[in-house]
Amino acid sequence: MAARPVVEVRGLWKSFGDKEALRGVDLKLHDGETLVVLGPSGCGKSVLLKHVIGLMEPDRGSIIVEGRDLSGLSQAELNEIRQKFGMVFQGAALFDSMTVGDNVALPLREHRGMKGERLSALVEEKLELVGLKGISSLRPAELSGGMKKRVALARAIALDPDIILYDEPTTGLDPVMAEQINELIRSTQRKLNASSIVVTHDLHSACFTGDMVALMDEGRIAFYGTTDELTTTENEAVRNFIARGHPAATGAPGGSGAGPACADDPFA
């Protein structure tokens, strides 16, 4: 792993009115690594990602991307940094009025000024990477939940990002579909050699996709370690998170979630 992190979050605080969403988050993403951010609903995961990509401004603290502090950058500089990122938003966030192909083409048109045959070929290539060849003329309404997440990933990798951010990539999918997305995250990582942050509350997804894991609890990082350490730690927040029995934590609807953290870890 490289010495300098690709993304560094330092002492990040953010409130909305009386609600303190982030209360001093420190976190590092290293080159080529997949960092999973786990945590219960409402603990601040999405807000954290939005700061990393510069969509929200900190009340206090800083975000440093490839050595550059985002605060104090001009809008043009921020736009340039944002192109290093691909983001798969929670719920896919596709444009329903556009075809699948136009959704994937959007960043290429906007940021690279691409059009015509070259654009269509590249869109098809990106769709093929996520296992969806030949569907570019369909509309999002014609796709399953898992297919929508794949299209969102194809759009996120359109500009060959250095860093990919995934917000709840498996939420709302059945276990088979969720597993396909987990595998896609891993294979995309290998093919693009990107660094990734995967936000999830799904423990199995965390173990399958992650190198490092951070557990967020009430706006703070309560645990940071490897997926192996997640299994063995006595950290109270981790034990509580597992014991609380998020159905998704076992990969099975209604599961107890109360086993060893990474019992179904493919590397165990």
Per CB under 6 A, residues contacting ligand ATP are: 16, 19, 21, 39, 41-47, 90, 201
One-character DSSP codes across 212-240? EEEEEETTEEEEEEEHHHHHH---HHHHH
C-beta of 238: minimal distance to Mg ion in Å?
Answer: 19
> Should residue 205 be labelled a site residue for Mg ion when binding is judged by CB under 5 A?
no
| Closer by beta carbon to ligand ATP, 127 or else 216 | 216
Distance CA 57, CA 49 (A): 11
Q: Of the listed pieces 46-54, 92-100, 109-117, 205-213, which binds Mg ion according to CB under 5 A?
A: 46-54
Residue 19 binding: pick among Mg ion, ligand ATP, none (C-beta 5-8 Å cut-off by kind) = ligand ATP
Distance CA 213, CA 35 (A): 6
Residue 4 binding: pick among ligand ATP, Mg ion, none (C-beta 5-8 Å cut-off by kind) = none
C-beta of 39: minimal distance to ligand ATP in Å?
Answer: 6
C-beta of 74: minimal distance to ligand ATP in Å?
Answer: 24
Tokens 């590397």 correspond to what residue? Answer: 267
Residue 84 binding: pick among ligand ATP, Mg ion, none (C-beta 5-8 Å cut-off by kind) = none
72 token code pair: 């104090």
| Closer by beta carbon to Mg ion, 92 or else 132 | 92
SS3 for 79-93, per residue? HHHHCCEEEECCCCC
| Closer by beta carbon to Mg ion, 100 or else 216 | 216
Helix (H) or strand (E) holding 28: strand 19-29
C-beta of 34: minimal distance to ligand ATP in Å?
Answer: 18
Q: Phi, psi (5° rounding) for residue 56?
A: -130, 150
C-beta of 42: minimal distance to Mg ion in Å?
Answer: 8
| Closer by beta carbon to ligand ATP, 39 or else 86 | 39
Q: How far is CA 41 from CA 38, 185, 188, 224, in A?
A: 10, 22, 26, 18
Residue 68 binding: pick among Mg ion, ligand ATP, none (C-beta 5-8 Å cut-off by kind) = none
Of the candidate residues 7, 9, 43, 46, the single one contacting Mg ion (CB under 5 A): 46
C-beta of 108: minimal distance to Mg ion in Å?
Answer: 27
Distance CA 104, CA 91 (A): 16
DSSP annotation of 246 reads -
DSSP annotation of 98 reads S
Q: How far is CA 199 from CA 90, 166, 234, in A?
A: 9, 6, 22
Footprint on this chain of Mg ion (rule: CB under 5 A): 45-46
